Amino acid sequence: MNYLYRNNSANRIVWLMKTLCTDGLPASTTRCYSTKLAPESPPVPKVASTVSNVPTERKSIVPPNYRYVYQEFLPDPKVEWRNSVREKLERKDMLDRRANIDIPEFYVGSIVAVTSSDLHAENKTARFVGICILREKCGLRARFILRNVIDHQGIEISYDLYDPTLQKIEVLRLEKRLDENLLYLRDALDEYSTFDVNMEPEILPEGSPVPINDVKVVLKPRPWYARWERHNLQGVANIDEHTNERRRRKAEAVATPWEKYDLMKEYRRTIPEEEQKEIFTEIYSQIHSLELARKKMKRKRTFVKPTKLA
Average pLDDT over residues 226-239: 94
Provide the pairing of β-strand 166-173 with 143-150. Answer: unpaired
pLDDT per position as a tens digit, 117-162: 998 888 899 999 999 999 999 999 999 999 999 999 999 999 999 9
The overall average pLDDT reported for the chain is 84
Burial 164-175 (b: 16+ CB within 10 A, else e): eebeebbbbbbb
The CA-based diameter of the chain, rounded to the nearest angstrom, is 135
Question: Which architecture characterizes domain 65-293 according to CATH?
Answer: Roll (2.30)
How would you classify residue 211: left for phi > 0, otherwise alpha for psi between -120 and 50, otherwise beta? beta
Say what the pLDDT of residue 43 is.
Answer: 61
Closest alpha carbon to 279 in 55, 126, 106, 95: 95
Q: Angle 84-100/273-302 helices, nearest 10 degrees?
A: 0
Give the pLDDT of residue 199.
Answer: 94
For residue 153, the surrounding DSSP H or E stretch is strand 153-160
Q: What is the pLDDT of residue 30?
A: 45
Query: How far is residue 291 CA from its own chain's centroid?
Result: 14
Write out the H or E segment, with its range, that includes residue 172. Answer: strand 166-173
DSSP string of 217-251, one letter each residue: B-BPSSP-SS-GGGS--SSBS-GGGG--HHHHHHH
pLDDT digits (tens, 9 = 90+) for 237-295: 999 999 999 999 999 999 998 888 999 888 888 898 999 999 999 999 999 998 888 88
Interacting residues of 178 by C-beta distance below 8 A, sequence separation 6+: 212, 213, 214, 216, 234, 235
What is the tens place of the pLDDT at every residue in 69-88? 999 999 998 888 899 999 99
User: What Rg do the C-alpha atoms of the chain give, in angstroms?
Assistant: 38
* All residues at 6 or more sequence positions from 266 whose CB lies less than 8 Å from its CB, including other chains: 260
pLDDT tens string 8-58: 666 666 666 555 555 554 544 444 444 444 555 566 555 554 545 555 556
The reported pLDDT for the residue numbered 118 is: 92
pLDDT at position 31: 47
Highest mean pLDDT among 13-17, 166-170, 204-208: 166-170
pTM given for the model = 0.77
- Residue 206 is predicted with a pLDDT of 82
Length of the chain: 310
Identify the three-state secondary structure at position 112: strand
Does 211 have pLDDT greater than 60? Answer: yes
Give the sign of the dihedral formed by CA 244, CA 250, CA 252, CA 254.
Answer: negative
